[in-house]
């Protein structure tokens, strides 16, 4: 375990099982649809690549980069698009792939943004959710695991751009950011 990690929340095996389960549900729900997975950069990359290879149906992929976080642990509430998707979304069934939902600000904005691009449907799939931190209520369609109000790292999740490459999800030692 990394020295900055307080404890492991989800092991590699637990993550694998969760992703497999979600992919099965998504493959059933989208079998007659025009699925495009859109990952939020950068946190979703590991989850996205694991999820897509477990799908048993056809899908397209794309990425969008929105910023709401600085290098701290609190959301700024302001969302702006740093990199947009690279294709029209008209008539497509968009499934947003996210690492973690905290305040809900980012996805509240992005969901409306994709709907305005005339997507046929827009749903949300997130590896983690911190319900106790929600500021904006948003419907989340697929959740890997609900987590307590602690700062988590690994499996794509960073603190100040570090720890994304850890293969497990752990809680960051508060001494690192306080
Ligand atoms: P929201 O807009 O407040 O829901 O923030 C969502 C984004 O904040 C996520 O995509 C993450 O990039 C980041 N974030 C929120 N909580 C954590 C955490 O515990 N660890 C790492 N990143 C987090
Ligand atoms: Mg993120």
Distance 41 CA to ligand 2 centre (A): 6
CB neighbour list of residue 78: distance below 8 Å, 6 or more residues apart: 68
Task: State if residue 75 touches ligand 1 by the CB under 6 angstroms criterion.
Answer: yes
As a whole number, the mean pLDDT across the chain is 95
Cis peptide leading into residue 113 (ω within 30°) = no
Does residue 69 contact residue 76 with C-beta atoms inside 8 Å?
Answer: yes
Task: Give this prediction's pTM.
Answer: 0.94
Distance 28 CA to ligand 2 centre (A): 26
Ligand at shortest distance from the CA of 69: 1
∠ CA 160-70-161, rounded to 5° = 20
Burial of 3 (0-12, 13-18, 19+ CB in 10 A): exposed
pLDDT, one tens digit per residue, over 33-45 is 999 999 999 999 9
């Amino acid at each position: 375990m990394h020295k900055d990690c307080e404890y492991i929340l989800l092991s590699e095996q637990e993550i694998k099982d969760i992703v497999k389960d979600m992919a099965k549900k998504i493959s059933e729900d989208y079998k007659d649809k025009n699925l495009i997975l859109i990952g939020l950069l950068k946190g979703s990359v590991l989850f996205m690549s694991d999820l897509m290879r477990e799908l048993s149906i056809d899908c397209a992929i794309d990425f969008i980069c929105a910023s709401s976080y600085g290098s701290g642990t609190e959301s700024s509430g302001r969302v702006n698009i740093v990199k947009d998707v690279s294709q029209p979304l008209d008539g497509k069934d968009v499934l947003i792939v996210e690492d973690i939902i905290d305040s809900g600000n980012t996805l509240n904005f992005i969901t409306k943004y994709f709907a305005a691009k005339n997507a046929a449907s827009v749903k949300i799939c997130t590896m983690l959710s911190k319900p106790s931190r929600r500021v904006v209520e948003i419907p989340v369609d697929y959740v890997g695991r609900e987590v307590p109000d602690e700062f988590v790292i690994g499996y794509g999740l960073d603190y100040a751009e570090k720890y994304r490459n850890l293969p497990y999800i752990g809680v960051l030692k508060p001494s690192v950011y306080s």
